Structure 1
Amino acid sequence: MMEEITLEKIDAIRSRTGVSYREAKEALEQTQGNVVEALIALESEKQTNWTEEFSVRSSEVIDKVKELIHEGNVNSIRVKHDDKTLVDIPVGLGALGAVFLPQLAALGVLVAVFKRCTIEVIRNDKNDHEE
């Protein structure tokens, strides 16, 4: 039987893992609303994913996001300012990510008011990027 998915449960998962609201909700749905099982599932998932951050001028955000989408091993791109997520772009494969390119114009308008933004990239297959 599925337990109720509440904002409190989502917040508990977010505070412990740093995932987005969407990711926390999906983890709870996959585990029938069980917070502990959702945390374990997210922990297992994080072992195959890794995060990288870039600090860029707002004028460079669009080009950097396009570049990252075309690299291919990107699961998600988050554009942040002062630790607040402005946009979260789920990207499966480079080709699939091309679907989001027209939406980048809206992102440009959004970040234009800031001097600098942070781009957080969640990647899979860590071995492809180790040096």
Structure 2
Amino acid sequence: MAITIEQIDLLRKRADVGYKEAKEALEKCNGDIVEALSYLESQNKIKPEEEFLKGSSLIKKIKRVISKGNKMSVVISKSEKTILNLPLTLAVVFTVFAMPVVIISLVIVLITSCKIRFNRENGDDCSINDKIDKVSKAVEHVTNKVNKEFTNA
């Protein structure tokens, strides 16, 4: 069977090998592209696609971060009533795509004495909540001072 340049090009794209390796694999497999791919894979010249994706450290890290983010939530509440409860992953995505809106919202939340909490899946608080409480108290103190100044003026 004659090997065509189209077959060689297709095998090169699929297996990411050179012309010579693609031609030799096709010749050994009588022009069968699937068999040639299997042959190249058995020669460790290409990795199986699934193994490549599973082995990627970047993909593993991204999956781990998303998994952790989905197990945590951002809760905004006022007077023990929940105003907003979002998974952390969604809050981060929203922050990335709508930064100005998020900043304005945070300022409003802090000025109106709402509480911002980060909670784990099981309901436990995160350690960052202590720092958020300190910032909230400082903002509340400044807000109260400004209110008194306006009232007295």
Shorter-chain TM band: 0.3 to 0.5
- Which of the pair has more CA radius of gyration? 2
Per the normalisation by structure 2, the TM-score is 0.28
Q: Which structure: greater strand fraction? A: 1
